[in-house]
Amino acid sequence: MAQPFPVPRRCPFEPPPEYAAMREQAPLVRAALPGGEAWLVTRHAEAQQVLSGAGISTSPATPGHPSRAMRPEPPTPEEIAVLAEFSVGHFIDLDPPEHTRFRKLLIPEFTVRRVRELRPGIQDIADRLIDDMLAKGDEAELVADFGLPLPSLVICRLLGVPYEDHEFFQSRTRRMLSVSADDGARFTAMAEIRSYLDALVTAAEKGPEDDLLGRVIGSGRLTHAEIVGVIFLLLVAGHETTANMLPLSVLTLLRHPAQLDALRADPSGWPMAVEELLRYHSIVDWAAFDRVAAEDLEIGGQLVRRGEGILVLGASANRDERAFERPDEFDVRRGARNHVAFGYGVHQCLGQNLARAELEIALRVLFERLPGLRVTAPDEELPAKYDGPIFGLTALPVAW
């Protein structure tokens, strides 16, 4: 019998308990989606095989892609039109060589060297946000006051997007990614963000600045619509994932005080701690890992036919006992850089160096400047995004 899917999380610190049972059962498990069926990839080695891209398509336009089966009803003509517009420049949904054309243009903006140049600016943003929290007293709501604004400020500065408009794109992003919102509301949110960015790019084309947007425009290698799509993708991905990881990471470290004390005593351990936090939470899980077989393949001993949809469960692969010792334990000394939280292969997250830097700097500065930081609500009362494909907390009340 096919496993009903999606399976919601029930705990801030654990993937759905069904994942462990499926992982024990087989590396590939058949799943019943709202509008069809697909294969679920449960183990680490098979996840890397699928995400490597060999014989696999990422494009939702490829027949059998599971994005269609994730919906109980087919899209309306109006929704198809919105999706067609939205897909232009959305390069993570493209296969090579089209995907390669976009990636080669953007890679220089996210190299280790380039991100190293951005680190002082990230530190400055973190310090100013903490200054603002301290100025208000000895309590804060960490999602609203720190977790969300930090990556939003960074990505707005990087892309040349006015930060005063952040509430607009954040509210639309939340609606677009909410499972509880109806399809009409999600498509409206997508269209509104795209329209806003279309106007922003149009204005920038009249006099490009020396920022990422200006350099993309100046390259002459993308059409106007493609630039809008690229900025849409970078803006949403650039704040949503890190904004979810930051408060969740704070909560996790506070629940492991001995490991937090070790990081305070030796800050050189923060990069390794960030890798463990990424592995442990795997907040994106399957949301960016929907694929379809472009040819007949054998994956984990299972024959997958051309046109069959595949969903890689990142949160299951990153808890695979075959790849990680004691995978359900949180250990900042693990050094698990072989996790698949950022994907694997040709579609591995372009902004991973920036995300790592944001997390490392933000967490280190926060715990250095607020040594008495504590959460003021029990874990079971913390509101979490159990209705969304990207996991996180909607609020984290703290004091110091």
On the question of pLDDT at 23 being above 90, the answer is yes
Q: Give the C-alpha separation, 365 to 390, whole Å.
A: 25
Q: What is the mean pLDDT of residues 11-39?
A: 96
On the question of pLDDT at 267 being above 80, the answer is yes
Highest mean pLDDT out of 113-117, 155-159, 239-243: 113-117
On the question of pLDDT at 62 being above 90, the answer is yes
Q: What is the mean pLDDT of residues 109-116?
A: 95
Q: How high is the pLDDT of residue 113?
A: 95
Closest by Cα among 91, 87, 69 to 79: 87
User: In percent, how much of the chain has pLDDT > 90?
Assistant: 74
| Confidence category of residue 86, pLDDT binned at 50, 70, 90 | confident
On the question of pLDDT at 323 being above 80, the answer is yes
Which of 374 and 287 is assigned the larger pLDDT?
374
Domain ranges of the chain: 3-399
Q: Give the C-alpha separation, 227 to 16, whole Å.
A: 37
Q: How high is the pLDDT of residue 105?
A: 95
Q: How high is the pLDDT of residue 231?
A: 92
Q: How high is the pLDDT of residue 154?
A: 92
On the question of pLDDT at 57 being above 60, the answer is yes
**pLDDT tens readout for residues 143-182:** 999 999 999 899 888 888 887 887 787 778 777 766 556 6
Q: How high is the pLDDT of residue 183?
A: 67
Look at the domain 3-399 and name its fold.
Answer: Cytochrome p450 (1.10.630)
Reported pTM:
0.93
Q: How high is the pLDDT of residue 177?
A: 67
CB contact at 8 A, 91 and 230: yes
| Confidence category of residue 337, pLDDT binned at 50, 70, 90 | confident
Rama region for 89: left / alpha / beta (φ>0; ψ in -120 to 50; rest) = left
List strand residue ranges (DSSP E) for the chain, in order: 3-4, 28-33, 36-41, 56-57, 139-141, 290-293, 297-299, 302-304, 309-312, 374-375, 397-399
The 3-class SS string of 271-282 reads: HHHHHHHHHHHC
Q: Give the C-alpha separation, 343 to 142, whole Å.
A: 28
Q: List 91's β-bridge partners, or say none.
A: none
